[in-house]
Structure 1
Amino acid sequence: MNAHGPFQKHIAGHGNREKRGAEVAAILIINRVLEKAASIPHRTLRALAAHVGAIWYRLDRKHRDVAMRNLEMAWGKELTEAEKEAICRKVFVNLSTVMLELPYLLTLTRENLGRFITFSGVEHLENAQSKGKGVLVLASHFGNWELMSLAFSIRHQPIKVVVRPLDNHILDAIINTLRSRGGNELIPKKGSVRQILRHLRRNQVVALLADQNVDWYDGVFVPFFNEIACTNKAMAVLALRTGAPVVPVYNYRQEDGRYATVFEPEIPIIRTADTTGDIEENAACFNRVIEGFIRRYPEQWLWLHMRWKTRPYQLWPRQSLKGQRWLVIRPQIRSLEA
């Protein structure tokens, strides 16, 4: 990977010439470290990740508390405290593994990707694309999502992926270069709707990670596990507006360390005369699908994210919501319907 080539386009425009030079130097150093790390055997990496994850869990009280609060919100009395804590510990190990596997993205090829990942259910995506309206892929921060998208582009076809730029643009340049190695095109989340519509009209595949909290004006409040969650409405609005099929996908780490990527059948879209209600119902349906993935392999989801951060009472600070567990709020949707 050449920092003066692929990375250059990601850091252009950040600061003056001296600052950009320092950034390129930093990227070259990080790139060299990644290249060296890519030679570490997978078995050794997994053992290292177990130790790193255990230390991270003990030292990072902030994210440990976030994960435990999320687990409590999601599972309630379905699991004991000991069971939630056991999942939490595994979450830190899983994320440590994902981060330590990052260098492998440098060496992934069509010939060797079978050592890291397998695919099943791809026919569901192909059948959806044969309709000629493009495809919306419902993805989430599950398993090793970065490996999944890159491997799919190498093994099958490049896709379009909606991403939120990282706050640190040096890391953003590195990650985005790895993401696009197989030909994937990255769409910045802000102002992405027009680009998504254009790609769907061209019958292309667009993936959105729809499992994270959003501000109230970008979402709808619908159930996720045992609580309502402010859920991104973009997938539902786009599916209703364009008729593009929605195909869910997830990947999970198996006992041998390889990832299994599973495409599931197209999700039927609810379509009535009530557009706002349809958006809510479809967003809730997408949440149920993602929840199903998580219930199968709870330790492999990103529990460190504050999924229930945006709460309904923020719209009406003086109104008590005591007892209104399933309150649904209908914010304006003009930004995506126009």
Structure 2
Amino acid sequence: MSKLNYFIIAGLLRVVGWLSLGNAQKIGKWIGLLTWKLPTKSRQVTDTNLSICLPDLSDTDRSAMSKASMIQTGQTMMEVPLMWEWPVQKCLNLIKETKGLELIDEAMSSGKGLILLAPHLGNWELVGLFFSSRYKMAALYSPPNMPEFEDYMIKVRGRLGSELVRGDRRGLIRLTSILREGGVAGILPDQSPRGKGNAYAPFFGMEVRTMTLVSKLMQKTGANALITYAERLPDASGFRIVVKRTEPGLGEKDPVVATTALNRSIEHCVLDIPEQYQWEYKRMRHRPPGEANPYKPDQVC
């Protein structure tokens, strides 16, 4: 059954991969609108996150932001097959503008490794392609539930030689080695981590479980860190790659200081284009013990 599911999904990805960017975004827009209008869990989570993270918005503005976010998420969902199925150069041709690339050159000139943080903002798959086309790069990933799909994912994401490493002990050893060699490591920093490598730090004012991996890698390897995203431009005209400095304290030994700096770095990027952030993710579900679960107020963490 698992193999059958894989062939169905792989077939759908290939079919969507025949679309143009404009048509994919149009379909994604309607998927997002439908998901927003219906009483879906995604709509509920989005509204909850926006009420926590952007409390100064009026009810009207928050509803508009929720709608825009769902549309953008629908477009992201439809763009992913393009990033996986299109020829690499065709994907890279979608990048019409860049901002802050001199920060990459500055960081790499030191001879140290570079950790590139790419939150779930805009099109993060395009970010990976762009930077793996320029640098020796490894990216941390969590294996999907479908084993057959893992091979496909590694193949399409590694088309330019980018190395995908699992988020286990062996993978982290490999990531450390690459950074010590002066390479680049890509990490999605705004996931709720599992295991012991975490601390509680504020994210838009709410204490949530946050990964300590970034600070530990910086301490072990002396690597620099920057944060980046691919902003979706209007009217299917392409994307803008943006690179920014991270907040001071990201490499500190104190895990709360380091994770607070990490979350603030993400916040600053999100506030640049809040409608393109994946508010549909339950980022606040892991809170300090005894605190209420915002998605299930009758339950405590």
Q: Distance in 1 between matches of 2:246 and 2:61?
A: 33
1:146-295 alignment to 2 at 5 Å? 146-154=125-133, 156-191=134-169, 192-215=171-194, 217-257=196-236, 258-265=238-245, 268-269=248-249, 275-276=253-254, 279-295=255-271
1:97-116 alignment to 2 at 5 Å? 97-105=75-83, 106-110=85-89, 113-116=92-95
TM-score scaled by length of structure 2:
0.85
Q: Distance in 2 between matches of 1:242 and 1:114?
A: 34
Please give the per-residue CA displacement for 1:75-101, whole angstroms capped at 9, x wherever unaligned: 22x111222222122222112111211
TM-score scaled by length of structure 1:
0.77
Q: Distance in 2 between matches of 1:170 and 1:55?
A: 30
Report if aligned partners of 2:176, 2:220 keep a CA contact under 8 Å in 1: no
Aligned to 1:85: 63
Q: Structure 2 residue aligned with 1:54, among 25, 30, 33?
A: 33
CA RMSD of aligned residues (A): 2.5
Highest CA radius of gyration, 1 or 2?
Answer: 1
3-state SS in 1 of match to 2:48: helix
Aligned to 1:130: 109
Q: Distance in 2 between matches of 1:268 and 1:196?
A: 23
Percent pairwise identity: 24
1:111/1:94 CA distance change after superposition, 3 Å: closer
Deviation at 1:314, TM superposition (A): 4.4
1:60/1:177 CA distance change after superposition, 3 Å: farther
Q: Distance in 1 between matches of 2:193 and 2:10?
A: 33
Matched AA of 1:96: G
Q: Structure 2 residue aligned with 1:144, among 123, 130, 143?
A: 123
Q: Structure 2 residue aligned with 1:309, among 268, 285, 296?
A: 285
Deviation at 1:266, TM superposition (A): 6.0
Deviation at 1:172, TM superposition (A): 3.5
Q: Distance in 1 between matches of 2:251 and 2:285?
A: 29
3-state SS in 1 of match to 2:218: helix
Deviation at 1:135, TM superposition (A): 0.9
Please give the per-residue CA displacement for 1:218-246, whole angstroms capped at 9, x wherever unaligned: 31112211222221111112212322111
* Structure with greater proportional strand content: 2
Aligned to 2:296: none
In the alignment, structure 2 segments of 5+ residues that lack a partner are 292-301
Please give the per-residue CA displacement for 1:158-183, whole angstroms capped at 9, x wherever unaligned: 41111111223344343332211222
Deviation at 1:188, TM superposition (A): 0.8
Report if aligned partners of 2:218, 2:251 keep a CA contact under 8 Å in 1: no
Q: Distance in 1 between matches of 2:32 and 2:244?
A: 31
Q: Structure 1 residue aligned with 2:99, among 90, 115, 120?
A: 120
3-state SS in 1 of match to 2:73: helix
Aligned to 1:70: 49
